[in-house]
């Protein structure tokens, strides 16, 4: 009973923990691709012809969007695009251990999309500030 009460008090942190965790995973993969792109070219589909340039672009995409997710900026849009990105990777790789792992990450990323901005996102702070400004303007009229 005491444990349930403690869990109830901290459950509001679960969306931010998930958002941070997924963002850290994308940051790790993004920086890893920039640091050593040649180790990633073997995972590319044949039509990309082992393009190191594509690996750099993918790494930059993942770093930018992971940073936005970490900060909670455009949370819903960013998490949706990152989830689609993972689905694309899953279809490119086909069935295997990496694809199953990426499926789990995609599901977690889509759950962030479904939840939207949590109370610790910059999105929430900006929306609250805009909402308060609108209320203030209404009171002045």
What region does 50 belong to: left with phi over 0, alpha with psi -120 to 50, or beta? left
In a domain, 111, yes or no: yes
Which pTM does this prediction carry?
Answer: 0.81
For residue 2, being part of any structural domain is answered with no
Sequential pLDDT tens for the chain (141 residues)? 678 888 888 888 888 899 999 999 999 999 999 998 888 887 777 777 767 888 899 899 999 999 999 999 999 999 999 999 999 888 887 788 888 998 999 999 999 999 888 887 888 777 766 555 555 455 545
- Domain membership of residue 42 as a residue range: 13-140
Residue 24 lies in a domain: yes
Whether 5 is covered by a domain: the verdict is no
The DSSP secondary-structure symbol of 120 reads T
In a domain, residue 7? The reply is no
15, with CB counted inside 10 A (0-12, 13-18, 19+), is buried
Count Cβ neighbours within 10 Å for each residue of 79-91 and write b for 16 or more, e otherwise.
bbbbbebbeebbe
Q: Token match 């990777």: residue? A: 89
Q: Kindly state whether residue 114 falls inside one of the protein's structural domains.
A: yes
Averaged pLDDT score across all residues of the chain: 85
In a domain, 34, yes or no: yes
Number of domains forming the structure of the chain = 1
């Amino acid at each position: 009973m005491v444990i349930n009460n403690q869990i109830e008090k901290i459950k509001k942190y679960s969306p931010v923990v998930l958002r941070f965790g997924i963002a850290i995973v994308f940051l790790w993969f993004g920086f890893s691709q920039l640091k050593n792109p040649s180790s990633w070219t073997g995972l590319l589909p044949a039509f990309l012809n082992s393009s190191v340039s594509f690996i750099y672009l993918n790494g930059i995409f993942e770093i930018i969007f992971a940073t936005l997710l970490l900060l909670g900026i455009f949370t819903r849009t960013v998490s949706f695009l990152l989830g689609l990105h993972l689905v694309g990777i899953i279809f490119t790789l086909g069935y295997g251990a990496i694809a199953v792992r990426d499926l789990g990450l995609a599901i977690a990323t889509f759950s962030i999309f479904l939840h939207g901005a949590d109370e610790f996102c910059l999105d929430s702070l900006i929306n609250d500030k805009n909402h308060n400004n609108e209320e203030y303007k209404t009171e002045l009229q």
